Amino acid sequence: MEIIPKVHLIPGITANPYLIIEPDGLTLIDAGLPGSHKKILRYMAGLGYAPKGLKRIIITHSDFDHIGGLAALKAATGARVFASAIEAQAMVEGHASRPLKPRSALTRLLFGLMAGLFKPAPIQADELLSDGQTFPVLGGLRVVETPGHTPGHISLFSSSVGILFCGDSIVSEKTGMRGSTGANNWDQAKSDESVRRQAGLGARVVCSGHGPVVMDAAGKFPQI
C-alpha cells in the first residue's frame, strides 16, 4: 500500500514494515513477526522486485515483532542489516533488549508464552547506527535516537519529505498518537523525552510500528 510516492506500508503484518523504493534498490524498515519474510518478499515481487532488490534492512528496535522475519529475509536477499549497538547486541543474544515489567501473574505468563512462541532467530547486524547517521534514501533519511520503549530504540526522519518512521516510540491509534507506556516500556522519562524530540522535527507523515499511518501529522503529536 503506497503511503506517499516511493514509500509503502506492507499490509497484513505485525508490526508494520515499511518499504522505500529508490533507483538503486529497496530499503525495509523493520521485519515483522517470525514468518513475515514470505509476505514481504511476495509484496516486493508484486512491485516487480526480485529478493536481491532489497539492499538494506533498518531495525528500529529488537522486539520479536520487529525482527521476526529478519534472519530469513537476510538469507533470501543478502540485504545489509542496520541497528543501534544496544539493539544489535540483543539481536545476537536472541532476547529482548530490556527486562519486561509485568504487573500481574497473568501478564507474566502471557509475556513468557509470547517470548517462546515468537522467538526470532539470532542475527548479527552488519552495521551499527547512531544519532545523526543518514541513509541516501528519501533525500536523506536520518537516524534519530529515541530511547524509552527500549534502551537502543531509533527512529528515522527525512526532513525533505517530512516523514518520520518512529517504530514503537509512538503508537498510532484510531483516537490519535500516544507515547510508549506500560509493561514493555523500558524508561518512561526517556520515552516522554523521545516523543517531545520527535514532535519538534516537523514531520508531516508519521509511520508507527503499530496502527494507522498518520497524515497531516503537525499538531497531532502527543502533548507530554
| Residue 7, C-alpha cell as written in the block | 514509500
Q: CB 40 → Zn ion: shortest distance, Å?
A: 18
Contacts of 193 (CB under 8 A, 6+ apart): 148
| CB closer to Zn ion, 150 vs 158 | 150
| CB closer to Zn ion, 15 vs 217 | 15
Applying CB under 5 A, the span of 21-29, 55-63, 92-100, 124-132 interacting with Zn ion comes to 55-63
Q: How far apart are CA 154 and CA 147, in angstroms?
A: 7
Q: How far apart are CA 145 and CA 129, in angstroms?
A: 9
Task: Please report whether residue 87 would count as binding Zn ion according to CB under 5 A.
Answer: no
| CB closer to Zn ion, 52 vs 101 | 101
Per 3-state DSSP, what percentage of the chain is helix, strand, and coil (rounded to 5)? 25, 25, 45
Binding footprint of Zn ion, residue count (CB under 5 A): 2
Residue 213 near residue 3 (C-beta atoms within 8 A): yes
51 DSSP assignment: G
Please identify which residue in 41, 168, 171, 198 interacts with Zn ion, judged by CB under 5 A: 168
Task: Please report whether residue 30 would count as binding Zn ion according to CB under 5 A.
Answer: no
Q: How far is CA 215 from CA 30, 35, 180, in A?
A: 20, 29, 20
| Residue 104, C-alpha cell as written in the block | 500481574
Q: How far apart are CA 164 and CA 93, in angstroms?
A: 29
Q: CB 31 → Zn ion: shortest distance, Å?
A: 13
Q: CB 47 → Zn ion: shortest distance, Å?
A: 27
Applying CB under 5 A, the span of 31-39, 59-67, 116-124, 128-136 interacting with Zn ion comes to 59-67
Task: Please report whether residue 63 would count as binding Zn ion according to CB under 5 A.
Answer: yes
Q: CB 125 → Zn ion: shortest distance, Å?
A: 17
Applying CB under 5 A, the span of 29-37, 60-68, 88-96, 134-142 interacting with Zn ion comes to 60-68
Q: CB 208 → Zn ion: shortest distance, Å?
A: 11
**Residue written as cell 509503502?**
8
**Residue written as cell 552495521?**
127
Give the footprint of Zn ion on this chain (CB under 5 A). 63, 168
